[in-house]
Amino acid sequence: MKQPTERQLARLDLASEMDLRYSYFSVNISLGMREFERESFPGTPALDFAFCVLAAVENVRRGNPGRISFTENDLLINLVPAATKVTVERSWDPTIATCSIDELVATSREFCRNVIDFTVQKYPDFQKNPFFARMKKMQAELSSD
């Protein structure tokens, strides 16, 4: 994880949602599914990516398409639900993947929990920021059926 500056750390509890999503915590994210190889995306803003995952998967859970975007480039992951399955389409590769909506929800929930927990473990003051509560609420809503 890219370390925030001293100035950013001093304002962690007061930082805006946009600053937290885009400027504070960049990580190397690795994604993969049965149908395609694991890929790494270095320098991905962790909280923004987790936020996009939560929002996209909630849309899928409600029967609507979801989209996960990468802040630092124009890559997109489209999630298209059909009955109990979801098709995963990546803008940079024609190979598609499928999984159950339940599997997508469970994996996404775990991924986002890990991002949030890791951030809190390294930077406890993040818990004082209203964006932390918003992400925890989104995560809890994804957990409820």
pTM score, whole prediction:
0.91
pLDDT of residue 46: 92
Please tell me the distance from the alpha carbon of residue 112 to that of residue 14, in angstroms, as a whole number.
22
pLDDT, tens digit (0-9, with 9 covering 90-100), for 2-54: 788 899 889 899 999 999 998 888 889 998 888 988 999 998 999 999 999 99
pLDDT at position 127 is 95
Report the distance separating Cα 96 and Cα 143, nearest Å.
Answer: 26
* Region 121-127 average pLDDT: 94
At residue 72, the pLDDT reads 77
Q: What is the average pLDDT value for the chain, to the nearest integer? A: 92
**Residue position matching structure tokens 């400027």:** 23
> What topology does CATH give the domain 6-143?
Secreted effector protein pipB2 fold (3.30.2450)
Task: Please name the residues in contact with 59: beta carbons below 8 A apart, sequence gap of 6 or more.
Answer: 65, 66, 79
Domain ranges of the chain: 6-143
